[in-house]
Amino acid sequence: MKLTTTTVLTTSNTHRAVEAVWRIESARLIAGLARVVRDVGLAEELAQDALVVALERWPESGVPDNPGAWLLAAARRRAIDLLRARTLHGRKHEELGRELEALERAVPDFDSALDDEVGDDLLRLVFTACHPLLSKEARVALTLCLLGGLTTDEIARAFLVPEQTVAQRIVRAKRTLAEARVPFEVPRVAELAARLSSVLEVVYLIFNEGYTVTAGSDWVRPALCEEALRLGRILAELAPREPEVHGLAALMEIQASRLHARVGASGEPVLLLDQNRARWDWLLVRRGLDALHRAESLGGPLGPYALQAAIAACHARARTAEETDWPRIVALYDALAELSPSPVVELNRAVAVSMAFGPEAGLELVDELTDEPALKNYHLLPSVRGDLLFKLGRLEEARAEFERAASLTRNARERQLLLARAAACTAGRS
């Protein structure tokens, strides 16, 4: 059915419409092109060229009825032009031209059976953008660029780095992939678990940057969480039989449910147990619990993300902080510590133990971690220790720990919170 849009199309609202189409279509466009030209850098260039043409033509012609197909056709024409003069990876341009035509014919409408093809291409793109050859920062930038459809400017602002830095990261990443001739494919079964883990790590990194901002003056940046959530939800449909994909989605949905409760009226951080649960987004909680159920239904022992999601679910199921099932959380941390042991997990477990069995028990575990090299500059270690000491009435020691924690955090709001707790030790009240 041919669609026509009748709106007053000024250039600026067409630009916004083009941006919206880009957000919807760019990833699958780049993915489809990448499969044919076998180079994600070139694929993205072609897609960007198509975008430029769209920005030129659509203010006059209107947004086309099938914008994805229009962009693909424009990209194909551009590819033919580029390839006319040279061969690519030893293949003649006629051959590539034919493949691009085939790709164009295969562009799915909503009633096409070729959605699987698109899904496969998107998966290939996901794995390529998160390739272990690339640094974490590069993977994050490339993922947000190729899969999120974000501009380098948007990525730079999200991570508070200069735009040049992001642009360079992306250029270098593409070059690394091209020079290493990284194939555009879904990893083989033997490597799948490790590669998938890399993908999930990237997505969760993006989420965490929005959930607990490491630097700067904000406590949370919801837009980044939304990007990560979107990527996680997309992944859940691209790889529905992977339990950890649902585990990560569940974890992010539940954590995101607390975004608005985590920030107080004047922008100060509010800790989990102090949050007003009426401000939790119960739609997201529901979605998170459903995703966790999907992970559990796939059978097998829970992986690290699913376990963390299960812990988050324990909090989500408690109507008040007092109703939290701490022993269950301890058990989940026991499982997590066995599966992916780390000093941070041990620290979190110690907190859960202190809530379930008293601050003395928790402090015993925390004291075992004081010499951990990995936690040397981790502000949460002295912060937790300070909290436990405070509860045990050892106020002088608690104050020292809070001050140490304040000196270690790079987040201004968190520093304020910790200094306030230190001051409260002197005043003898919380």
Partner 1 sequence: MRFMVIVKASKESEAGVFPDEKILSEMGKYNEELVKAGVMLAADGLHPSSKGARVRFEGGKRTVIDGPFSETKELIAGFWLWQVKSKEEAVEWLKRAPFDGGTEVELRQVFEPEDFGANLTPEMERLRARLEAKR
| Candidate list 231, 310, 312, 336; residue touching partner 1; CB under 8 A | 231
The nearer residue to partner 1, 340 or 416, going by C-beta atoms, is 416
364 binds partner 1 (CB under 8 A): no
The nearer residue to partner 1, 3 or 189, going by C-beta atoms, is 3
| Candidate list 6, 85, 111, 299; residue touching partner 1; CB under 8 A | 111
| Candidate list 10, 11, 23, 92; residue touching partner 1; CB under 8 A | 23
374 binds partner 1 (CB under 8 A): no
- Per DSSP, helices labelled H in 257-281 are none
Footprint (CB under 8 A) of partner 1, residues 155-174: 156-158, 160-163
Closest CA to 29 of 70, 65, 89: 70
288 binds partner 1 (CB under 8 A): no
372 binds partner 1 (CB under 8 A): no
Compute how many other C-beta atoms are within 10 angstroms of the C-beta atom of residue 214. Answer: 12
The one-letter amino acid code at 267 reads G
The nearer residue to partner 1, 89 or 110, going by C-beta atoms, is 110
Q: What's the sign of the alpha-carbon dihedral 181, 182, 184, 185? A: positive
In the complex, minimum distance from the CB of residue 381 to partner 1, in angstroms, rounded to a whole number:
28
Question: What tokens appear for 224 in the block?
Answer: 């980044």
Closest CA to 159 of 254, 236, 96, 227: 227
Closest CA to 118 of 72, 175, 174, 187: 72
Please enumerate in sequence order all residues whose Cβ is within 8 A of that of 259, keeping only pairs 6 or more positions apart, or say none.
Answer: 211, 220, 222, 225, 281
88 forms beta bridges with 91
12 binds partner 1 (CB under 8 A): no
| Candidate list 183, 216, 301, 358; residue touching partner 1; CB under 8 A | 216
Q: Which DSSP symbol is given to 266?
A: T
Compute how many other C-beta atoms are within 10 angstroms of the C-beta atom of residue 93. Answer: 18
20 binds partner 1 (CB under 8 A): yes
Q: For binding to partner 1 (CB under 8 A), which residues are involved?
A: 3, 5, 13, 16-17, 19-21, 23-24, 63, 67, 110-111, 119, 156-158, 160-163, 216-217, 222-223, 226, 229-234, 237-238, 260, 265-267, 279, 283, 287
